[in-house]
A and B are shown apart, each in its own frame.
Chain A
Amino acid sequence: EDQVTQSPEALRLQEGESSSLNCSYTVSGLRGLFWYRQDPGKGPEFLFTLYSAGEEKEKERLKATLTKKESFLHITAPKPEDSATYLCAVLSYNTDKLIFGTGTRLQVFP
C-alpha cells in the first residue's frame, strides 16, 4: 500500500535558521512526488514536482530534493512569511490519485 510519512510534525525556527523537512514514501512505482504549501484556512499551493531520484528544484528560499525513498524540503534563511504547513504527496503507477502525508507545520519567529 502506498504510504507517505512526513517529519517532524511541527518545527519552530528562528528567522534565518535554515532547516530541512523530510518526506519518506513507500510506493509501487513512483510517478511523481509533489510539495505543497498550505496556509490556515486555505487550499494547498503548488510548490514543486520531482520525478526521478537525484532531481532537485529550487524556488526562492526553498529547495526540494528526491532520493529513491525520501524527499527533503530545505529552507534556507527562512522568514516569518514562510510559516505554513508543508505537505508532501506521491503519485504512483498503481493509482491515479495523490497520496498525502500529514504535513509539517512550520513556524518561523522573528
Chain B
Amino acid sequence: GAVVSQHPSWVICKSGTSVKIECRSLDFQATTMFWYRQFPKQSLMLMATSNEGSKATYEQGVEKDKFLINHASLTLSTLTVTSAHPEDSSFYICSARTSGWADGEQYFGPGTRLTVT
C-alpha cells in the first residue's frame, strides 16, 4: 500500500504559540490531501480537503484562520495551528489519495499528537 508520513509524531507547545505539522506522501503523488482530528475514543472528524496548488476547502465549523493548510506540492501538505489553545489539543491525522486509484481510496498517516499547555 501507499505510504503517508507525518512529522512530528507528537508535539507540546505553549498556549498562544503556533505549531506546524507536515504530511508527506512517500511513494506517490497526492492530488488530494485531507486533514482530520480525532478526540479520545471518538471517530475521525474531517477538518479540510486540499488539492495541490489550490486553497483548502474547510468543513463547517472549522476556523480557516486558525488551521492554516498549505498543499504546495504533490507530496507535501502542512497544517499550521495558529495561536494554539488547550482546546486545540488533539490527535491530528492526514490522509492522501491520487487520481487513478480506486474510487475513494485514500491512505492515512500515523498521526500527530498535539498537546497545548
Contacts and interface: CB of A to CB of B under 8 A. Distances in A.
A43 B111 contact: yes
A91 B113 contact: no
B105 A101 contact: no
Given A42-B111, A96-B49, A91 B44 contact: no
Contacts of A49: 102, 104-105
B104 A32 contact: yes
A80 interface: no
B67 interface: no
Nearest to B102: A49
Contacts of B108: 36, 43-46
Contacts, number: 53
Interface string B81-117: 0000000000101010000001111111111010000
Contacts of B107: 46
Contacts of B42: 102
Give the interface centre of B4, B42, B104, B108 by most chain A CB atoms within 10 Å.
B104
B43 A100 contact: yes
Nearest to B113: A41
A88 B71 CA distance: 27
A45 B2 CA distance: 10
A31 B104 contact: yes
A32 B106 contact: no
